[in-house]
Amino acid sequence: MSIDEIAIRKTERLFGACYPVESLSFFLTPSRIPYETAVKRDFKPVKVGESFGPTWWTSWFRVTVTIPKAWKGEEVHFVWECDGEAMVWRDGIPVQGLTKEGEKTSYILTEKLTDEDPHSLELYVELACNGLFGAGKGSLIAPPDPNRSFTLHKAELVIFNRAVHELLIDFEIISDMAKLLGTENQRSYQALYTANKMVNACDVEDPSTFAEVHRLASDFLQQQNGESQHTVHAMGHCHIDTAWLWPYEESIRKCARSWVSAVHLMKKNPNFIFTCSQAQQLQWVKCLYPVLYTQIQEYAAKGQFITVGGTWVEMDGNLPSGESMVRQFLQGQRFFQQEFGKYCCEFWLPDTFGYSAQLPQIMQGCGITRFLTQKLSWNLVNEFPLLNTVKNNKDKGRVNDSAFLFGFGDGGGGPTQDMLDRLQRVQNTDGLPRVKQSTPDAFFSILEADTTMLCTWVGELFLELHNGSYTSQAKIKKGNRKCECILRSIEVVSSLASVQKESFDYPSSQLQNLWRLLLLNQFHDVLPGSCIQSVVEDAVKFYEEIQSGGNELLKEAIQCLLGGSVQETGKNINVLNTLSWERTEVISMPRLEGDEVLALVKVPSVGFATVTSPLVPPHPVIVASQGNGSVLMENGILKVVFDSMGRMTSLTHLLYKRETIPEGCFGNQFVLFDDIPLYWDAWDVMDYHLETRKPVSQVLKSLEVVCPGGVRGSVRHSIRISDTSKIRQEIILDACCPYIKFKTEVEWQEAHKFLKVEFPTTVHSPNATYEIQFGHLQRPTHWNTSWDWARFEVWGHKWADLSEHGFGVALFNDCKYGYSVHQNVMTLSLLRAPKAPDATADMGHHHFTYAFMPHAGSFQEANVIQFAYNINYPLHIVPAEPSVSASSFWSAFSIQSPAVILETIKQAEDRKNALVIRLYESHGSTVVTWLHTSLPVKQAMWCDLLEQPLATKTLPITDFQIQLSFTPFQIRSLLLIF
Q: How many CB atoms lie within 10 A of CB 456?
A: 6
Strand, helix or coil for residue 476? helix
- Show the CA angle centred on residue 303, arms to residues 297 and 305, nearest 5°: 55
Closest C-alpha among 706, 744, 707, 739 to residue 725: 744
What are the start-end ranges of the E strands in 281-414? 305-307, 346-348, 370-372, 401-406
Residue 12 to residue 16: CA distance in whole angstroms: 9
* Residue 973: burial class (beta carbons within 10 Å; 0-12, 13-18, 19+): buried
Q: How far from 399 is each of 304, 377, 405, 540, CA to CA, in Å?
A: 26, 19, 18, 46
- Show the CA angle centred on residue 761, arms to residues 758 and 763, nearest 5°: 140
DSSP, residue by residue, 710-753: ESEEEEEEEEESSSS-EEEEEEEEETT-SSEEEEEEEEE--SSE
Closest C-alpha among 495, 507, 487, 493 to residue 547: 487
Residue 92 to residue 671: CA distance in whole angstroms: 59
Residue 711 to residue 623: CA distance in whole angstroms: 11
Active site positions, annotated: 351
- Show the CA angle centred on residue 932, arms to residues 931 and 935, nearest 5°: 125
- Count of residues making up the chain: 978
520-549 burial code (b ≥16 CB/10 A, e <16): bbbbbbbbbbbbbbbbbebbbebbeebbeb
Q: How far from 884 is each of 563, 564, 881, 888, CA to CA, in Å?
A: 10, 10, 6, 9
Give the H/E segment covering residue 325. Answer: helix 322-340
Closest C-alpha among 814, 800, 917 to residue 870: 814
User: Which amino acid is present at 297?
Assistant: Q
Residue 334 to residue 909: CA distance in whole angstroms: 10
928, β-bridge pairs: 965
Q: Residue 828 gets which letter from DSSP? A: E
Cα-Cα end-to-end distance for the chain:
83
C-beta of residue 827 within 8 angstroms of C-beta of residue 821: yes
| The three-state (H, E, C) secondary structure of 340-376, written as one string | HCCCCCEEECCCCCCECCCHHHHHHHCCCCEEECCHH
Residue 342 to residue 932: CA distance in whole angstroms: 37
DSSP, residue by residue, 647-702: -EEEEEETTTTEE-SPTT--BSEEEEEE---SS-TTT---GGGGGG-EE--EEEEE
Residues 6+ apart with CB under 8 A from 121: 64, 65, 90, 109
Residue 654 to residue 820: CA distance in whole angstroms: 27
* Main-chain phi, psi angles of 540, to 5 degrees: -60, -40
- Strand 274-276 relative to strand 231-237, pairing: parallel
Q: How many CB atoms lie within 10 A of CB 383?
A: 11
Residue 974 to residue 977: CA distance in whole angstroms: 10
C-beta of residue 601 within 8 angstroms of C-beta of residue 575: yes
